[in-house]
Amino acid sequence: MMSVSDIIRTDIQQMTAYAVAALPPGAIKLDAMEMPYRLPEAFRQALAAKLADAPINYYPNVATCGLQETLRDTFQIPSCARIALGNGSDELIQMISLLVAKPDAAVLALEPSFVMYKHNAALFGLNYVGVPLNEDFTLNLPSTLAAIEQHQPALIFVSYPNNPTGIAFERKQVEAIIEAAPGVVVIDEAYGSFSRDSFLPLAGSMEKLVVMRTLSKIGFAGLRIGYAAGHPSVIDELAKILPPYNMNQLSLATAHFALQHYDWVLEHVDILKQQRVRMQQELAKFDDVEVFDSEANFITVRVPDADALFTALKEQGILIKKLHGGHPLLNQCLRFTIGTPEQNNRVLEVVNAFFG
Ligand SMILES: *Cc1c(COP(=O)(O)O)cnc(C)c1O
């Protein structure tokens, strides 16, 4: 007799599920680059009234919901770009991978980077090529260009700034990758709002360029709204394979509301950027902490014993991300999401006590 385990793909059976850490009550959550601020009470009341009116008896209509135009206005997306909406940019990573999944096609990404690029390549039977970054997490352009030349990837992902290292690669190097690419290049700007630079102004002007962004890191991770801006040659094809009802009425209505209050978002992004500078300076004062430069809402550090510091923070109710073990280059590395000034004070207290 056949059992389901004979039917389900062996490679999937060998995977482990993406684990979202359980949070003890009162804990400070600095592991997933969420914004620590919530909309103020008055906004939330207004939002509640708006959601009460949302037509949840009807399927959402992504084409006519108007969110693309609101995103275009808010983020100055060029008029020549098409915009696809995803249930989080995670869904767009998945669907763009599926879009190019011909037999023998390759996906190239830098390493360490966002784990979903490799995961989705595996899911869709694409050959995955991971090109290691330099030890200081800068981009190794010669080896990247050599890998592009050798493997002719149908799809390249560049996280700009890079997660989990925080560094924004040199723009010129990323331009060289786009130039050399034989296929689609996704510039994943999940942290674009915290960065000095962006490729969004080029969206739509080059066939192979897709710029991907998300509302997740700027206050709305729970909404699951990501978007990809690019040339019609890619985005119109992508639109064909996105599930027709991938977005939901409540998220769409909330996203509209959130972008009407974009000043609030910017104000809090600014606070976090200032806190990033502060945390970089404060953490760098410890002889045992190597701080990497960051253009995102998190800081990656290397310490003598990542596990010990991770545990010390956890015991004090602070959850960060242990990168150690994820990739050889991330040896003894930890990643701190930037929190509120008060949360950051707590982090510094614990780090101080740990090394003091
Ligand atoms: C967080 C993150 C995403 C996922 O964003 P969602 O829109 O929440 O799915 C995509 N890319 C990178 C590099 C990220 O860090």
Q: Percent of the chain at pLDDT above 70?
A: 100
* Ligand 1 atom closest to 114 (CA): 13
Q: Whose CA is closest to atom 2 on ligand 1? A: 190
Q: Is 47 among the domain residues? A: no
User: What are 168's strand-pairing partners?
Assistant: none
Domain boundary among 261, 277, 299: 261
Domain boundary among 233, 261, 289: 261
Stretch 149-172: mean pLDDT: 97
Quote the pTM value.
0.97
Which string of b and e fits 11-29 if b means at least 16 CB within 10 Å? eeeeeeeeeeeeeeeeebb
Positive or negative: CA dihedral 111, 114, 119, 122: negative
78 and 203 inside one domain: yes
122 and 251 inside one domain: yes
Averaged pLDDT of the chain: 97
pLDDT tens, position by position, 135-149 = 999 999 999 999 999
| Tokens standing for residue 192 | 């674009």
- Residue 221: what pLDDT? 97
Q: Is 51 among the domain residues? A: no
pLDDT tens, position by position, 41-55 = 999 999 999 999 999
174 and 159 inside one domain: yes
Helix intervals (H) in the chain:
4-7, 10-13, 41-52, 67-75, 89-99, 115-123, 141-151, 171-180, 232-241, 249-260, 262-284, 306-315, 341-355
288 and 328 inside one domain: yes
The span from the CA of 248 to the CA of 251, in Å, is 5
- CATH code at 164? 3.40.640.10
- Residue 26: what pLDDT? 87
232 and 152 inside one domain: yes
User: Residue type for 102, please?
Assistant: K
Q: Is 194 among the domain residues? A: yes
Domain boundary among 261, 293, 324: 261
Task: Using pLDDT thresholds of 50, 70 and 90, give the confidence band for residue 1.
Answer: confident
298-302 β-sheet, strand order: 290-291, 298-302, 333-337, 321-322
How many angstroms is it from 247 CA to the middle of ligand 1? 16
Q: Whose CA is closest to atom 5 on ligand 1? A: 89
Task: Using pLDDT thresholds of 50, 70 and 90, give the confidence band for residue 213.
Answer: very high
- Residue 136: what pLDDT? 96
CB atoms within 10 A of CB 250: 14
Tell me if 34 CB under 6 Å of ligand 1: no
75 and 110 inside one domain: yes
247 and 172 inside one domain: yes
How many angstroms is it from 80 CA to the middle of ligand 1? 25
- CATH code at 342? 3.90.1150.10
pLDDT tens, position by position, 10-46 = 999 999 988 887 888 889 999 999 999 999 999 999 9
What percent of the residues of the chain are helix, what percent strand, and what percent coil, each to the nearest 5? 45, 15, 40
320 and 233 inside one domain: no
| Number of compact structural domains in the chain | 2
* Ligand 1 atom closest to 214 (CA): 7
254 and 211 inside one domain: yes
204 and 88 inside one domain: yes
Q: Is 52 among the domain residues? A: no
pLDDT tens, position by position, 223-254 = 999 999 999 999 999 999 999 999 999 999 99
Q: Is 46 among the domain residues? A: no
Q: Whose CA is closest to atom 14 on ligand 1? A: 190
The span from the CA of 200 to the CA of 296, in Å, is 16
| Tokens standing for residue 290 | 């190597």
- Given a cut of 80, whether residue 92 has pLDDT beyond it is yes
272 and 174 inside one domain: no
Domain that holds residue 330: 4-40+263-355
Q: Is 29 among the domain residues? A: yes
Tell me if 214 CB under 6 Å of ligand 1: yes
pLDDT tens, position by position, 171-201 = 999 999 999 999 999 999 999 999 999 999 9
23 and 110 inside one domain: no
Q: Is 125 among the domain residues? A: yes
Q: Is 206 among the domain residues? A: yes
- Residue 24: what pLDDT? 81
Task: Using pLDDT thresholds of 50, 70 and 90, give the confidence band for residue 132.
Answer: very high
